[in-house]
């Protein structure tokens, strides 16, 4: 039997890159998946691929920072697929990029709407049902920027730090339930978003080292391998095997089995 047979998953930012790879992997393991993003064409392409491979998926266009859109998308997922038992919060933005004193503050705050407001909206909408059913697993796709000082990336770093703390807070509040939540770094992969970032004039001006590194990892085979590693990590965490790690931020090189073993040593 597939590992996720009977599970209902929601994946945000699912039209391309990490989100699409995660949605495809969850569907391949038997989950029915609601893919959420703003780009209808990308969503339709992703859903068509999943269905062609024998999986079950639906496309839901929504702005993840808008409460009404989030409620509508989740309600539609519930109506068409059933009560969600998995949430992968993957939607993200890389910018704005540059010195704090030169940034457009509206753009900086808009980034926090995606990093912070969006996962909070989904948690607020989904957790009551998960807690009532005493069943659910959530993965917030954070980044290594959450634990690093990266000049000229204040919006991104601040948002990712906040995501990790939201996961810690939620895990503490969910401690007496079977609902588990994790934060992950997806890895350094040349996605479409990475390409957009690499080509942005502000990135080329303020982050030449990162741009050069992105060029070094732009090989198609390495991109596919990196996406697969992230999707596998999400699958591992929503499988239930690592529930004792709820509340933690985890990176791709982390040995989950070793961490679990250390907890009982």
CATH number at residue 149: 3.40.50.720
200: in domain: no
Name every residue whose Cβ is closer than 8 Å to that of residue 48 and which is 6 or more positions away in sequence. Answer: none
Catalytic residues: 142, 156, 160
In a domain, 202, yes or no: no
The reply to whether 72 falls in a domain is yes
Tally of structural domains, the chain: 1
Residue 262 counted as domain residue: no
What's the CA gap between 151 and 149, in Å, rounded? 6
Tens of each residue's pLDDT in the chain, 265 residues: 789 999 999 999 999 999 999 999 999 999 999 999 999 999 999 999 999 999 999 999 999 999 999 999 999 999 999 999 999 999 999 889 999 999 999 999 999 999 999 999 999 999 999 999 999 999 999 999 999 999 999 999 999 999 999 999 999 999 999 999 999 999 988 777 777 787 788 888 898 888 887 777 766 778 888 999 999 999 999 999 999 999 999 999 999 999 999 998 7
The domain in which residue 127 lies consists of 8-187+227-257
Would you say residue 247 lies in a domain? yes
């Amino acid at each position: 039997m597939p590992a996720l047979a009977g599970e209902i998953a929601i994946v945000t930012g699912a039209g391309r890159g990490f989100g699409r790879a995660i949605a495809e992997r969850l569907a391949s393991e038997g989950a029915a998946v609601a893919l959420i993003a703003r780009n209808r064409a990308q969503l339709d392409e992703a859903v068509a691929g999943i269905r062609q491979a024998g999986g079950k998926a639906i496309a839901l266009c929504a702005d993840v920072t808008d409460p009404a859109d989030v409620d509508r998308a989740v309600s539609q997922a519930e109506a068409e697929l059933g009560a969600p038992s998995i949430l992968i919060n993957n939607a993200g933005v890389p910018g704005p990029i540059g010195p704090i004193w030169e940034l457009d503050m509206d753009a900086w705050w808009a980034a926090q709407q995606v990093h912070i407001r969006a996962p909070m909206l989904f948690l607020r909408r989904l957790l009551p049902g998960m807690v009532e059913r005493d069943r659910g697993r959530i993965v917030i796709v954070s980044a290594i920027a959450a634990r690093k000082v990266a000049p000229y990336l204040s919006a991104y770093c601040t948002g990712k730090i906040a995501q990790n703390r939201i996961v810690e807070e939620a895990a503490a509040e969910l401690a007496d339930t079977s609902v588990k939540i994790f934060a992950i770094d997806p890895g350094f992969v040349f996605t479409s978003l990475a390409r957009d970032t690499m080509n942005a004039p502000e990135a080329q001006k303020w982050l030449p080292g990162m741009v050069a590194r992105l060029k070094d990892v732009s090989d198609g085979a390495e991109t596919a391998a990196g996406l697969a590693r992230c999707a596998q990590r999400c699958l591992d965490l929503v499988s239930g095997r690592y529930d004792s790690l709820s509340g933690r931020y985890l990176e791709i090189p982390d040995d989950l089995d070793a961490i679990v073993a250390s907890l009982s040593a």
